[in-house]
């Protein structure tokens, strides 16, 4: 007997799914902001003297090599146990994503900063600038331009990674998709629809990243 | 050197090439007798290199016919690689295979294309490297060789296929001036041995001394051709005169 | 801090249950390796399709790469495990479903790596090979791929490391690998904190050395 497709399972529940996109975006935005902020001190420590940079190195290597799923569960299950803090799933998810992403952001900052030729550092110091002035006036303005496209790539991965938050009950697109699929007993139609929604959402993001690579292309 | 054997090796009829709206070759007709050296000259962008690459169909002609030994090669599809064995090509940027030694480069054609045994191919390669004066560099990698040495290996690599005809695409343009003479010497020796050669070059002295015919290209068409002493010393066409004049001025600087 | 939660670490439980976790680790490694092999084969085929002269081939390959890289791995896993069986008419065991999905997913990334690796070999090399009378296939095999492989090794290595990390997701479709083992233990154990922390450290103990090796390979290849 041929399979009877029933797309109403998907389309009747489309409003639920579409509003879940809001949670997806919110989680991604908060995590992106958090990691952009957290990544900077990590990068700066990583670039400072060896006696302290090892701490940043540990952070970066730990969170780059730890699977995100493990981190999400850890923040959700273990963190409350050891700190006594009660955190809602959304906060746990954003925290885990931020900790994970900040490690990659720090490496991008570091590459951006070190890519600026040392000649400029010498010139600035020769003029009598202090190190903070050097960073503020010379290095960071140029580094920012170089890192933006790489950060755009990170964003695309982050957006997809929000789906992992579904396992701790955050109501983003993946979670709502599973709910609808189990409620309607129509996993084929619903999950296909969810996948297509992700695909459609990815399109403008990819265009945005391409635009960033064009706009911020470094001309030496 | 005149060839009284009227043995036409290459005949080109009405060759056109378009790159989209650009009409790069406008109806080229050319005949090349066996054992002769034809030199193609002209300003950059005049279509000389494109024409050369059409001869072994690294570029696809838009229309026209190319006959090699009587065979219309423009119609070939599956037998195209076979045809290319008969034509050796040397490139401006050498295009040596960097992951092989000089010996490996020269032996690669015989081994992979002619299915010779490794021993036979390498023996032939050794002979050819000696012929171009690089016997002792057999186990060197391209990166360890000078530009002139790399180009001579490239010539040996093409010769290893024992072609009937050799195509040279501005093979000294990318070389430091002091290395040019070494490569031209190898080409001169080849010509003296009777190889049929079509050479795109700016080296006018070479054209005069070694060439049997000089063909002047401009804007994708042949505007003048004849014996070297005629074309180079007494150019008839205004454009040829202008071009040769500009080359002279460059050399004075 | 707030309420008096005196949490004391006790890794005794973790070490007692370590053999169970390590069995899961073996499955993790098996799944990762199988998926990598599948992904490499698939990636090579798709890369060649994207470089083929026939436009339908190029289009299909490009769509495959686009779609699998644009959608989260989790939805792909869930789809293959729950939705595909409905289409096929029979259910797929967890491990084949996992390897199929991970293989296809990494295959999409590897296809891009292979394609840009092949394209990065200067066009003159292809011309020189063809001028000698090689067929396109001979040129690819003897001249282009050997040069491309060297450049592709660093991104291939990091794809594998990512694969090992992503393999943790297949615990969610009931594959008895490391993460699944940790979850099972945490559910019945009194000490989930130590188990999860220890599991995280096991993952890092596997992927960190791999990333060091990958970095070493990258440095050596850059200087050659």
Which of C71, C86, C171 shows the shortest C-beta gap to A187? C86
Strand pairing report for B8-19 and B63-68: antiparallel
CB B197 within 8 A of CB B155: no
CB B64 within 8 A of CB B14: yes
More confident residue, C33 or C222: C33
Residue A72 confidence (pLDDT) above 80: yes
**What 3-state DSSP class applies to B86?**
coil
Closest-CA distance, B115 to chain C, in angstroms, reads 11
Question: Which two structure tokens, joined as six digits, stand for B159?
Answer: 């010769």
Residue-wise pLDDT tens digits, B44-88: 889 999 999 999 899 899 999 999 988 899 988 888 888 899 999
Mark which residues 160-219 of B lie under 8 Å from C by CB: 161
What is the C-alpha separation between A76 and A72, in angstroms, rounded? Answer: 6
> What integer pLDDT is reported at residue B251 of this predicted model?
67
The verdict on C2 touching A (C-beta cutoff 8 Å) is: yes
Domain annotation covers residue C35:
yes
Residue A158 confidence (pLDDT) above 60: yes
Domain annotation covers residue A7:
no
Q: Do C74 and A163 touch (CB under 8 A)?
A: yes
Closest-CA distance, C221 to chain B, in angstroms, reads 13
Residue A219 confidence (pLDDT) above 60: no
CB C69 within 8 A of CB C108: yes
List the CATH number of the domain containing C138.
1.10.3720.10
Domain annotation covers residue A121:
yes
DSSP code per residue over B43-58: -TTSSHHHHHHHHTTS
Domain annotation covers residue C9:
no
Q: What is the DSSP letter of B105?
A: H
Domain annotation covers residue C57:
yes
Residue C118 burial by Cβ neighbours in a 10 Å radius (0-12, 13-18, 19+): buried
Domain annotation covers residue C48:
yes
Number of domains making up chain A:
1
Residue C59's H or E segment, with its range, is helix C55-70
B and C: number of Cβ contacts within 8 A: 60
Domain annotation covers residue A2:
no
Strand pairing report for B221-226 and B213-218: antiparallel
What is the C-alpha separation between B211 and B205, in angstroms, rounded? Answer: 9
List the CATH number of the domain containing A61.
1.10.3720.10
According to DSSP, the residues that pair with B12 across neighbouring strands are: B30, B66
User: Which residues from chain B sit within 8 angstroms of residue C127, using beta carbons?
Assistant: 58, 89, 91, 95
The verdict on B98 touching C (C-beta cutoff 8 Å) is: yes
Residue B216 confidence (pLDDT) above 50: yes
Tokens 């459609």: give the residue. Answer: A200
What is the C-alpha separation between A187 and C82, in angstroms, rounded? Answer: 6
Residue-wise pLDDT tens digits, A80-115: 988 888 899 999 999 999 999 999 999 999 988 888
DSSP code per residue over A112-168: HHHTS-HHHHHHHHHTT--HHHIIIIIIHHHHHHHHHHHHHHHHHHHHHHGGGGGGG
The verdict on C209 touching A (C-beta cutoff 8 Å) is: no
Q: Do C142 and B88 touch (CB under 8 A)?
A: no
Residue-wise pLDDT tens digits, B135-165: 999 999 999 999 999 999 999 999 999 999 9
What is the C-alpha separation between A65 and C203, in angstroms, rounded? Answer: 7
Closest-CA distance, C21 to chain A, in angstroms, reads 14
Domain annotation covers residue A192:
yes
**What 3-state DSSP class applies to C183?**
helix
Which of C124, C138, C142 shows the shortest C-beta gap to B95? C124
Closest-CA distance, C146 to chain B, in angstroms, reads 8
A and C: number of Cβ contacts within 8 A: 119
Q: Please tell me which residue of chain B has the smallest CA distance to C142.
A: B112
What is the C-alpha separation between A26 and C185, in angstroms, rounded? Answer: 33
Question: Which two structure tokens, joined as six digits, stand for B95?
Answer: 């295009």
Which of C79, C83, C200 shows the shortest C-beta gap to A74? C200
Indicate the pTM of the whole model. Answer: 0.81
What is the C-alpha separation between C6 and B178, in angstroms, rounded? Answer: 82
Q: Do C131 and B82 touch (CB under 8 A)?
A: no
> What integer pLDDT is reported at residue C3 of this predicted model?
47
Length of chain C: 224
Domain annotation covers residue A110:
yes
Mark which residues 128-167 of C lie under 8 Å from A by CB: 161, 165-166
Q: What is the CA radius of gyration of chain B?
A: 18
Closest-CA distance, C22 to chain B, in angstroms, reads 43
**Is there an interface between C and B (3+ Cβ pairs < 8 A)?**
yes
* Predicted confidence band of residue B236 (pLDDT cuts 50, 70, 90): confident
Closest-CA distance, C205 to chain A, in angstroms, reads 9
Mean pLDDT of chain C: 91
Q: Do B84 and C138 touch (CB under 8 A)?
A: no
What ipTM was predicted for this assembly?
0.89
User: Which residues from chain C sit within 8 angstroms of residue A21, using beta carbons?
Assistant: none
User: Which residues from chain C sit within 8 angstroms of residue A194, using beta carbons?
Assistant: 75
Domain annotation covers residue A204:
yes
Neighbours, chain B (3 or more CB pairs < 8 A): C
Residue-wise pLDDT tens digits, C10-64: 888 888 889 999 999 999 999 999 999 999 999 999 999 999 889 999 999 999 9
Which of B58, B96, B157 shows the shortest C-beta gap to C130? B58
Domain annotation covers residue A8:
no
Domain annotation covers residue C11:
no
Residue-wise pLDDT tens digits, C97-109: 999 999 999 999 9
The verdict on B58 touching C (C-beta cutoff 8 Å) is: yes
Strand pairing report for B87-90 and B37-41: unpaired
More confident residue, A6 or B17: B17
CB B205 within 8 A of CB B126: no
Which of C183, C196, C204 shows the shortest C-beta gap to A65? C204
Strand pairing report for B165-169 and B22-33: unpaired
What is the C-alpha separation between B115 and B121, in angstroms, rounded? Answer: 9
Number of domains making up chain C:
1
Counting Cα atoms < 13 Å in the Cβ hemisphere of B5 gives 8
Q: Do B113 and C142 touch (CB under 8 A)?
A: no
Which of B93, B99, B112 shows the shortest C-beta gap to C124? B93
Residue B1 confidence (pLDDT) above 70: no
What is the C-alpha separation between B27 and A45, in angstroms, rounded? Answer: 68
CB A100 within 8 A of CB A68: yes
Q: Supply angle C-alpha B97, B99, B105, rounded to 5.
A: 45
Q: Do C168 and A160 touch (CB under 8 A)?
A: no
Q: What is the DSSP letter of C83?
A: I
Q: How many C-beta neighbours within 10 Å does residue C215 have?
A: 13
Domain annotation covers residue C2:
no
Which of C122, C142, C147 shows the shortest C-beta gap to B108? C142
The domain of A125 spans: 13-215
Domain annotation covers residue A1:
no
* Predicted confidence band of residue B226 (pLDDT cuts 50, 70, 90): very high
Distances in Å between the alpha carbon of B134 and those of A65, B155, C27? 52, 11, 57
Nearest C-alpha neighbor of B157 from the set B113, B117, B201: B113
Pinpoint the alpha helices (H) of chain A.
8-12, 14-46, 50-65, 68-73, 79-83, 89-114, 118-126, 131-133, 140-161, 173-184, 187-215
CB A79 within 8 A of CB A70: no
Q: Please tell me which residue of chain A has the smallest CA distance to C2.
A: A84
User: Which residues from chain C sit within 8 angstroms of residue B112, using beta carbons?
Assistant: 132, 134, 138, 142
The domain of C148 spans: 17-223
Closest-CA distance, A129 to chain C, in angstroms, reads 34
Q: Do A206 and C192 touch (CB under 8 A)?
A: no
Give Cβ neighbours of residue C30 (< 8 Å, ≥ 6 apart): none
Domain annotation covers residue C4:
no
Q: At what angle do helices A14-46 and A140-161 cross, to 10 degrees?
A: 140
User: Which residues from chain B sit within 8 angstroms of residue C140, using beta carbons?
Assistant: none
Mean pLDDT of chain B: 91
Which of C1, C208, C211 shows the shortest C-beta gap to A84? C1
């Amino acid at each position: 007997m041929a399979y009877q497709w029933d797309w109403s399972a998907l389309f009747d529940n489309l409003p639920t799914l579409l509003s879940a996109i809001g949670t997806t975006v919110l989680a991604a935005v908060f995590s992106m902001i958090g990691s952009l902020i957290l990544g900077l001190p990590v990068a700066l420590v990583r670039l400072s003297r060896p006696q302290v940079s090892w701490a940043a190195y540990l952070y970066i290597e730990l969170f780059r090599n730890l699977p995100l799923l493990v981190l999400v569960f850890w923040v959700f299950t273990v963190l409350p146990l050891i700190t006594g803090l009660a955190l809602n799933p959304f906060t746990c998810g954003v925290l885990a994503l931020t900790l994970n992403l900040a490690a990659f952001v720090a490496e991008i900052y570091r590459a951006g900063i070190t890519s600026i030729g040392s000649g400029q550092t010498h010139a600035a110091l020769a003029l009598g600038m202090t190190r903070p002035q050097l960073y503020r006036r010379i290095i960071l303005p140029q580094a920012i331009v170089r890192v933006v496209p790489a950060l755009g790539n990170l964003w695309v991965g982050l957006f997809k990674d929000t789906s992992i938050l579904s396992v701790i009950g955050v109501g983003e697109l993946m979670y709502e998709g599973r709910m609808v699929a189990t409620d309607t007993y129509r996993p084929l139609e619903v999950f296909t629809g969810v996948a297509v929604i992700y695909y459609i959402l990815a399109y403008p993001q990819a265009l945005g990243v391409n635009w960033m690579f064009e706009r911020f292309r470094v001309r030496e | 050197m005149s060839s009284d054997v009227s043995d036409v090796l290459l005949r080109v009829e009405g060759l056109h090439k378009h790159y989209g709206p650009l009409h790069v070759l406008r109806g080229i007709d050319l005949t090349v007798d066996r054992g002769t050296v034809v030199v193609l000259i002209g300003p950059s962008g005049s279509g000389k290199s494109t024409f050369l690459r059409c001869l072994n169909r690294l570029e696809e002609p838009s229309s026209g016919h190319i006959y090699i030994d009587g065979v219309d090669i423009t119609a070939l599809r599956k037998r195209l690689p076979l045809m290319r064995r008969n034509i050796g090509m040397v490139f401006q940027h050498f295009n040596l295979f960097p992951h092989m030694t000089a010996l490996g480069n020269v032996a690669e054609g015989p081994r992979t294309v002619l299915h010779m045994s490794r021993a036979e191919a390498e023996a032939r390669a050794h002979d050819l490297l000696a012929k171009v004066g690089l016997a002792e560099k057999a186990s060197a990698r391209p990166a360890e060789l000078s530009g002139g040495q790399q180009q001579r290996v490239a010539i040996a690599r093409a010769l290893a296929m024992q072609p009937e005809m050799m195509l040279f695409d501005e093979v000294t343009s990318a070389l430091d001036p002091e290395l040019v003479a070494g490569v031209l010497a190898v080409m001169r020796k080849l010509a003296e041995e009777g190889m049929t050669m079509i050479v795109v070059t700016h080296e006018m002295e070479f054209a005069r001394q070694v060439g049997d015919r000089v063909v002047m290209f401009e804007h994708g068409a042949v505007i003048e051709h004849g014996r070297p002493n005629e074309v180079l010393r007494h150019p008839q066409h205004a454009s040829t005169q202008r071009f040769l004049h500009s080359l002279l001025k460059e050399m004075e600087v | 801090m707030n309420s008096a939660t005196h949490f004391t670490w006790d890794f005794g439980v973790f070490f007692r249950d370590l053999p169970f976790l390590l069995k899961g680790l073996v499955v993790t490694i098996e799944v990762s390796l199988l998926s990598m092999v599948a992904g490499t084969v698939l990636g090579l085929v798709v890369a060649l399709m994207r470089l083929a002269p026939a436009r339908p081939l190029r289009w299909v390959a490009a769509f495959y790469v686009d779609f699998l890289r644009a959608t989260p791995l989790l939805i792909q896993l869930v789809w293959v495990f729950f939705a595909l069986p409905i289409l096929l008419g029979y259910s797929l065991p967890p491990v084949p479903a996992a390897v199929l999905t991970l293989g296809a997913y990494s295959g999409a990334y590897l296809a891009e790596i292979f394609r840009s690796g092949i394209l990065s070999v200067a066009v003159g090399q292809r011309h020189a090979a063809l001028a000698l009378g090689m067929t396109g296939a001979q040129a690819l095999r003897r001249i282009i791929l050997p040069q491309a492989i060297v450049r592709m090794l660093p991104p291939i290595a990091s794809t594998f490391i990512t694969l090992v990390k992503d393999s943790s997701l297949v615990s969610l479709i009931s594959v008895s690998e490391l993460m699944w083992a940790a979850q099972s233990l945490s559910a019945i154990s009194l000490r989930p904190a130590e188990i999860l922390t220890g599991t995280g450290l096991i993952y890092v103990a596997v992927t960190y050395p791999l990333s060091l090796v990958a970095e070493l390979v990258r440095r050596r290849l850059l200087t050659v």
